[in-house]
A and B are shown apart, each in its own frame.
Chain A
Amino acid sequence: MAIYIQSISQISIQEPLCDNWFENPIYHSQRYVPSIEPNYKQYINPMSSRRMGKILKRAVTTSLNVLHERKDNEIDAIITATGLGCIENTEKFLYSMLENNETLLTPTYFIQSTHNTISSQIALELKCNNYNSTYVHRGISFESALFDAFLQFKLNKITNALVGAHDEMTKDIFTLYDKIGYWKKGDICVETLRKSETLGSFSGEVAVSSFLSNEKNEDSICSLAGMNILHKPTKEKLEETLKRLLEENNLTLSDIDAVLVGHSGDKENDEVYSKTKENLFNDIPFVWYKHLFGESFSMSGLGFYVGATCLKKNIIPKHLVFDSPKEILNPKHILIYNHFQNSEHSFILLSKC
């Protein structure tokens, strides 16, 4: 069973709903960067828009953007990844509860505060009664959501799926995560992120939706050839899993054109990638994306988008190549390797179709 990425769309701290960042990336220097908002009018009517928080607007927009006119139960599965869900509404309800000592509360923010509000809102917009789920496991949220779809494709339970990753960054969350070392202490630049001499990265926001199908057509961007997720793997286990993934696709390591990694400028995070490179990948070039998109729990969803975009455009531009200042022409296979705090590790293999 082959799985194809038919369409993929993003709203992030790069120009939204387009691939302009591919030729002309925006380099940010602040450590807290909000997403660039598109004009939502084309996707959501202003009445509904008013009732939606940022994260919902972005999720609905990227979803509609990749689905074109597909609606009414044509989608077999809607699966969403989100580290913190509708955190802005959660905070509003929490403040209201704490400030008024559990009195004078209204349900508005509570109703739209759960993590599954996003997937449900997409289902409401599409009037889709089919499979619907939400994964909330920190830096491996996106891989979990994608894996759910992947397994269902393998088991012939679905023929297509809308898989997304969505996280918003509020001032509170930024401040709290700053206290526990998630962000760098001053301004950032690509070179400081590349060198990873200190802890922390910079904060971005994520909205990415992808439409996957088991049918290949002229729209197919690339194939999702295989994947796996591991919890605290040993070096051997990681190697064995990669070997099996390649074998299943009749590939060897030398067929992999690039390994797309979550190098973020955080010393501890990045050391894990360097070590795995020594152990597993030798000379295969590393490609990164967090220097353009920042860090967030479901950021690897944007990594998936970056990998797919490179295969679509037949080139990995110089600004994405981590270790040698050279573009990579005609890539055929990109391996996405992600880890979260050296606890969860994942491989996603994208291949040209």
Chain B
Amino acid sequence: MNDILVTAMGILTGLGLGKDETLQSLINQNSAIGELKHLNTIHSSLPVSEVRLSDKDMLSLLNYNPQNPLTRTTLLGMLALREALEQAKIDKDTPKRIAFISGTTVGGMEKNEEFYLEFFQNNSKDEYISLHDCAASTQDIADYFGGFDFITTISTACSSAANAIILGANLIKAGYVDIAVVGGTECLSKFHLNGFNTLMILDKEACKPFDKNRQGLNLGEGAAYIVLERMESAKERGVEPICKLSGYANTCDAFHQTASSPDGQGAFLSMKRALEDSGLSAEDIDYINAHGTGTDNNDSSEASAIKRVFGENPPYVSSTKSFTGHTTSAAGSVESVISILALKNNFIPANLNFQTPMEDVDLVPAQRTIQLPNIKHIMTNSFGFGGNDSSCIFSKII
């Protein structure tokens, strides 16, 4: 009865709006990685996974005419959150203590970079000044829906949303809230794209996670939120639980600001401690949704860590970044939703574009969608710059 349950989820990525579109794309192996459409950059030849909707489309889907401008990060978050709240039957009058925790990193940079020089020349864009920090999206999303008793924003780069899940679970366990709505949102920005580009870790073609000839990652954008609560709360509200969050851990690689250690010490510890937290053994895990960015460094390091935790015969592994691109701060919740869809529908999502096994570590990912009769436990990894590594385990409710 003390389990932390997932009772709802919402998602928006290049794969589409909502769980159904996402599930169909995963099963049919339709990747969202392709050409840039919305972001105005000189690097438009770089493949990305962009959400197809424009800002205007999103406002119209939300049926929203805000007084102040909103960032794309905020709009993506609103659409994903709306789906989660509807499924969870939560509105602003739900008589429960509800937390909203969102992860983001580049925040409102996509508007900031557009108007930055103008801010200093005239006053016409001043209403955008307060949108550049990370909390702006969380605040605007919370204001739009109302009804939250606690909100905060986490920024641990590409593991931000995973750490939002962890804080939410701790808040419920310690008795400070009944429900935690957790995840992350991040849109593409020139800042982001150029930053990764200077590090020379962007693949000029579709990314090939865990492949010997991988050339880097493709950036993506998106948002996803999941709703956590205990059985008592779910029953009382008449909400059907989807699965449970059976364990989690956050660790730090403490090796380098942007590179992972060769043996993946941070990743090793986050997977190992998440297993310990869940009370499960390595053999119990049926599938690992890897961080698997497609960079030379990450995939070798993560594969080594997987081998250290799971031995010579690890469970099925795949990186669904080959579908969604790297949704950075949202990746932790985007990939949690994908993992939970896999758990619920009994399939292993494919690791697209894989051809040749790596030489340094012997790890071959699942290369196509595999139907598996009874998946019980899955692990999802989210690793970030600064060595911020987190792992979460989701399990079927038996």
Contact = CB atoms under 8 A, between A and B. Distances in A.
Interface of A: 78, 83-85, 93-94, 97-98, 101-103, 105-107, 110-117, 119-121, 123-124, 126-138, 140-141, 144, 147-148, 151-152, 154-155, 157, 172, 175-177, 179-180, 228-233, 237, 297, 343-344
Given A132-B251, A229-B150, A155 B387 contact: no
Interface of B: 41-43, 100, 105, 109, 112-113, 116-117, 119-120, 123, 126, 129-130, 133-135, 138-139, 142, 148-157, 163, 167, 170-171, 173-174, 176, 190-191, 194-195, 197-199, 250-258, 265-266, 269, 384-388
Which of the listed residues B109, B265, B384 has the most CB atoms from chain A within 10 Å of its own CB?
B384
A138 B135 CA distance: 6
A102 B194 contact: yes
A137 B199 contact: no
A97 B148 contact: no
A98 B113 contact: yes
A344 B385 contact: no
Given A94-B116, A121-B257, A180-B126, A83 B251 contact: no
A176 B171 CA distance: 35
B176 A228 contact: yes
B254 A129 contact: yes
B152 A133 contact: no
Contacts of A132: 156, 250-252, 386-388
A105 B126 CA distance: 28
Given A98-B117, A134-B156, A175-B120, A93 B195 contact: yes
A176 B250 CA distance: 35
Q: Sort A-B residue pairs by CB-CB distance and give the 10 closest, nearest first.
A: A120-B386, A132-B252, A110-B195, A107-B198, A115-B155, A136-B134, A144-B152, A137-B153, A123-B254, A136-B155
Contacts of A133: 154, 156, 163, 167, 250, 388
16 contacts: A102-B42, A116-B384, A119-B252, A119-B388, A120-B252, A121-B257, A123-B386, A133-B156, A135-B152, A137-B134, A151-B171, A151-B174, A157-B170, A179-B123, A179-B129, A231-B100
A120 B388 contact: yes
B318 to A, nearest CB: 26
Given A105-B197, A136-B153, A230-B150, 18 more contacts: A83-B135, A93-B194, A97-B113, A97-B194, A98-B116, A102-B42, A102-B190, A102-B194, A107-B198, A110-B195, A120-B387, A128-B254, A132-B250, A133-B163, A137-B151, A148-B167, A155-B173, A179-B123
A135 B385 contact: no
Nearest to B149: A231
A350 to B, nearest CB: 19
Contacts of A103: 42
Contacts of B195: 93, 107, 110, 113
Given A132-B250, A177-B129, A116 B386 contact: yes
A114 B155 contact: yes
Which of the listed residues A105, A127, A135, A229 has the most CB atoms from chain B within 10 Å of its own CB?
A135
Contact of B155 (A98, A101, A123, A134): A134
Given A132-B251, A231-B142, A151 B176 contact: yes
A137 B135 contact: yes
A114 B156 CA distance: 8
Contacts of A93: 191, 194-195
Contact of B257 (A111, A140, A144, A230): A111
